[in-house]
Structure 1
C-alpha cells in the first residue's frame, strides 16, 4: 500500500502525558509521514512490513507505540516485553539514546546488547529483566543459547534495517532469534527496500498477514538534500579538493566516506597532516574507541568524521550538513544511505561526490538508478582535466585507419564461386594440357573398357 500520509498531530494518537512531554522537550511538532502512518496501526496491534527511507523518522514510529503500550498496561513481574533487533552497534546506541530522550518523563527501562562490550556487564543487565532490549543479532543469540536471555514473554518484535542485516550475513542468526520469541507477539519489519532477494524468508517467518506500507521509497530523492558532482583527475587532486571543501565550506559537521578501512585511516592521516581536526570510524575499532570518537563528534570537539560504510547505517548525529563521497559508493542504495546522514529532521544538507575517471561509469549507473539530479561543480584552481568519457566519445572522430576498416567491413562481400564435388576430388592433382587427369607422382591410368554382361 503506497499512499500519501494523512495529516495528523501527535495529540490525535492519544499518547500518555509522559510521552507528550517527551515529544515536546525534543521539539517534535507534527508527525513525519512514516510516523503518521505507522503509529496508529502499530497501536492497533497490526503486524507491519514498512519500507521507509533513511532519516524519515521511523525510530520514533516504532518506539512510541511500544512505550504507549507499556505505560498503559504495566507488568510487574515478567521478562523482556519488546526486542528491537538492529544490524550495527552504532544503530543500537542511537535507538537507545532516542528512547532515553523520548522516555525521559517515564519509568520505562531499556538495555543495549551488542558485541564489543563486556559480557559480564550485559548479563547483569539481562538479569534485571529490562522491558525493552535493543540488540545486534550475534551477541543476543549467544545469550539465548546460553540461557542468559529469554524471549518467551516477548510482546513486540522489531527488525530495523532488515535489508542491511541480510547484507551483513545475519539471516540465519535472525531466524534463530525469531524462533526463540513468543509466537503470540506483534511484529514489525522496517527495510529501506522491499525488493531484497532474501527478505521474503524473514517476512514469511516473522510476520502474520502484515499490512504493507511504502513510505518515502528508497529511490525517491530527499527534498532537503542537494547533490553535487566534482570531477577529479587522480587521488592527489581528490585530496586537495577535499582539503579545500573542509576548509572553506560552512557547516556544523561533515562526514567523509571511503570504501575501505585502510582508505579511511590513510585519508585521516593526510587530513591531519594538513592541520584539519578529523577522526576516523571503521569496523576494526573496538567499542571503547568507537564510543570515544562518537563522543568527540557529538560534542563538537571534532567536526569532521572520516568513515567507512559502517557509519552509513544508523549514524544519527545532529548538525551533519555535509556528506562527501571521497570514494564513490559501490551501489545506488549505499549512496542513499550515506547521503541520508544529512538533511535529517527537516534540515537542509549537501552531498558532494568526488569522481575520478575509473568511477565515472559507476556514477552514471547510480544516477540512472536513483534518477538523481546532480549539480556539476568546480573549485577554482583545482579543476580537473577529466571532463567525462561520454562527452569525449561523442566529439571524437574515428582515425583514418579506423575509418578504412569500417569502410571495408561495410562493403558487400563478393559471392563465393559454386563448389562442385569433382573439384573437391581433384584437390592436390595437376592437369595435363590435354585435360587428362594425372595423379601426382603416378603414370596415367589406362582407359577402362566397358564390360559385357
Structure 2
C-alpha cells in the first residue's frame, strides 16, 4: 500500500518543497523510516542505493528543526558520508526539499579551501554534511563544535569502513553530544566492521531492512556482452553509445589509467564524454559533474569513486567496461540507473578472464542476465566449454554386469605344452600302443623283459 507524504504530518514548508520536486508518494524506506525517526528512535537501516533514503533522514531532521527553531548554538545535525560527491548530492537534495524554509546547510570535505570551510562553520548551519577526515581536523583544532548535536547520521556506513574511515568515525562520535539521536544507513548490515560503530553510536536501535542488497532491482535490466579483450570492448562500447537511445550514461573502469585511456579513445571518436577519478582535484571534479548535469557531456567515465553518491537525473545506461571486483560493487555501480522509478539498463562487457567473476556476481545477487550480441562485433569467446558429465549406469546395465560376474567361469590355466598341441588330434595312450602292434601293458602282465607271462596270456 502506497503512503502519501500528506499522511506523515510534515510541516507545510516541507510539503511545498516535496510538491515542487514532484514527490507525492513515499518510497518504502521513507514510509518506514520517517515515522520512526520522528518518534526519536535510533535506527539501523539497510536500504539499497536509489531507494530514496536521503529524503528518509533529511525530512525528519528538517521537521524537528522547523517545529523547534533555535537561533543560538552550533550545528544541530551532522551527516557523515564517505565521498565528496555524495556530500554535494545530499546538500543539493537538502536545498531542494528546504527551498521554502530558512534552514541552512554546510558542506565540509577534503579538497576544498579550509578558509572557506572555517567561514561556513562560523555561521553555525543547522545541518552539516561532511566527510570524516576533514571534519576531524576541525574538531581537533576546536574550529568545529558538536556539543549541541541533536542528530548524527552515518550514510553509506559500509563504504566508509571499506575506505578506512573507522577510526575517524569513532573519534567523531566521541566528540559529539551523547544525548543525540543517531541513524545509520548501510547497503548491508552484515559488514564485519559495523559492530564497533553500532555499539558506540546507537542505543536500542530499531532495525529496518528495505530492498535487501541481494534483491534484484525491479527497474533495472541486466545485459551481458562477451568480449575478446580491451580493444574489442572499446569497439563494442562505441557501437552501443552510437546506437542505444539514452539521455546520460556512466561507464565504470577499475583503474584511473583505464578511465583516461577509454576517455581518450571515445573523444577521438567524437563522443561527448568526461572522465572522473580520484586524482582530480575538487575544482576539476566539480567542473566534470557540472558538464554532466548540464548535458554538455552525455557520458561519464568513472572509477568506483563515483559508484556511491552519484545522483544524476536521466542516467539510463550503466556500463561495466571492467567487471567490478565484487557483487556489492556491482550493485552500487548499477544503482546509478533505475532511480526514482525510472527504467535503466546495466551492461557488462565480459572477457574470458572475467567469466568466473561474472558467474559469482550473478549467483551472489541472484541476477537475471540477458546475453546479447552485436552484429559484426561478436566475440570469438563463447563462454566456458561445458564438459559432459559421465553417464550414470542404468539399473538394467548394472544388473547385467552383476549377473555376468556371477556366471563367468574361472579361466583354465594355460600351459606351454598345451599351446604346442593346438590343432593336433588327441589320441589315448592305449590306442597309440595298438597302432604300434603292442598290447596294452598292465602292472600284472609285465615281466622283466617286457613280454607277457603265461599266466597272464592264459587268463
Do both share a fold (TM > 0.5)? yes
The offset of 1:62, in angstroms, is 0.2
Corresponding residue for 1:72? 67
Q: 1:81, CA displacement in angstroms?
A: 0.2
**Residues of 2 paired with 1:281 and 1:370: CA distance?**
27
Q: Structure 1 residue 7: deviation in Å?
A: 3.4
Find the aligned partners of 2:276 and 2:213 in 1 and give their Cα distance. Answer: 25
- In the alignment, structure 1 residue 40 sits paired with structure 2 residue 35: yes
Give the corresponding residue for 1:263: 258
- Give a deviation string over 1:385-434, Cα, whole Å, max 9, x none: 11111xx142699xxxxxxxxxxxxxxxxxxxxxxxxxxxxxxxxxxxxx
Match of 1:166 among 144, 153, 161: 161
Q: 1:27 to 1:257 in 2, by over 3 A?
A: same
- 1:363-374 alignment runs, 5 A limit: 363-374=358-369
Stretches of structure 1 that go unaligned for 5 or more consecutive residues are 1-5, 398-453
Q: Secondary structure at the match of 2:387?
A: helix
- In 2, the alpha carbon distance for the partners of 1:245 and 1:395 equals 36
2:322 to 322, 327, 331: 327
Residue 189 (structure 2) aligns with: 194
Which among 267, 273, 276 is matched to residue 272 of structure 1?
267
Q: CA RMSD in A?
A: 1.0
CA distance in 1 between partners of 2:222 and 2:339 (Å): 15
Instruction: Summarize the alignment of residues 44-443 of structure 1 with structure 2, pairs less than 5 Å apart.
Output: 44-389=39-384, 392-394=385-387
CA distance in structure 2 between the aligned counterparts of 1:394 and 1:384, rounded to whole angstroms: 21
Q: Distance in 1 between matches of 2:33 and 2:321?
A: 36
Distance 1:15 1:129 in 2: 24
- Structure 1 residue 235: Cα displacement: 1.1
Rounded Cα–Cα distance in structure 2 between residues aligned with 1:393 and 1:225: 29
The unaligned stretches of length 5 or more in structure 2 are 391-459
* Structure 1 CA distance for aligned equivalents of residues 356 and 137 of structure 2: 43
Report the structure number with the largest CA radius of gyration.
2
| TM-score normalized by the length of structure 1 | 0.85
Residue number in structure 2 paired with 1:9: 4
In structure 2, what is the Cα distance between the partners aligned to 1:245 and 1:306?
14
TM-score in terms of structure 2 length: 0.84
